[in-house]
Chains A and B, each alone.
Chain A
Amino acid sequence: MTMNDVLKSKTFAVGTVVLVLIAIWYFSAVMLNAPFQRELDERAKLSPTTGQFIEATLNQKRPVLPAPHQVAVEIWNTTVEKRITSKRSLVYHGGITLSSTMLGFVMGTVLGVTLAAAIIHVESLERSLMPWIITSQTIPILAIAPMVIVVLNAVGISGLIPKALISTYLSFFPVTVGVVKGLRSPDPMQLDLMRTYSASSFQTFWKLRWPSSIPFLFTSMKIAIAASLVGAIVGELPTGAVAGLGARLLAGSYYGQTVQIWSALLSAAFLAAMLVTIVGFADKAVRRRMGIMQ
Chain B
Amino acid sequence: MTDIQATDAASGAGGTAEDDAFRVIEARELCLTFETNDGPVHALSNVDLTVDRGEFVSFIGPSGCGKTTLLRVIADLEKATAGTISVNGMSPEEARRKRAYGYVFQAAALYPWRTIAGNVALPLEIMGLDKAERAERIARNLELVNLSGFERKFPWQLSGGMQQRASIARALAVEPDLLLMDEPFGALDEIVRDHLNEQLNQLWDRTNKTVIFVTHSIPEAVFLSTKIVVMSPRPGRVHDVIDCNLPRERTLDIRETPEFLEIAHRVRDGLRAGHAYDDE
Contact = CB atoms under 8 A, between A and B. Distances in A.
Interface string B114-130: 11000000110111000
Contacts of A199: 126
B122 A198 contact: no
Interface residues of A, number: 20
Interface string B67-111: 000000001110000000000000000001111011101010101
Interface in A238-294: 290-292, 294
Interface of A: prevailing SS? helix
B154 interface: yes
A197 B128 CA distance: 11
Interface stretch (A10-18, A60-68, A188-196, A228-236): A188-196
11 contacts: A189-B107, A190-B111, A193-B109, A197-B174, A198-B97, A199-B126, A203-B126, A211-B113, A214-B113, A291-B114, A291-B154
Nearest to B128: A203
A207 interface: yes
B112 A291 contact: yes
B34 interface: no
A166 B269 CA distance: 74
A196 B111 contact: no
B75 A196 contact: yes
Contact of B113 (A192, A198, A290): A290
Interface of B: prevailing SS? loop
A99 B188 CA distance: 56
Given A291-B113, A291-B154, A197 B105 contact: no
B113 A189 contact: no
Contacts of A197: 99, 122-123, 126-127, 174
A208 interface: yes
A198 B107 CA distance: 20
Interface string A177-201: 0000000000101101111111100
Contacts of A187: 109
Contacts of A290: 113
A292 B112 contact: yes
Contacts of A203: 126
A189 B10 CA distance: 34
B111 A208 contact: yes
A203 B114 CA distance: 15
B128 to A, nearest CB: 10
A214 B96 CA distance: 30
Given A190-B109, A292-B113, 6 more contacts: A192-B77, A195-B96, A196-B101, A197-B99, A207-B122, A290-B113
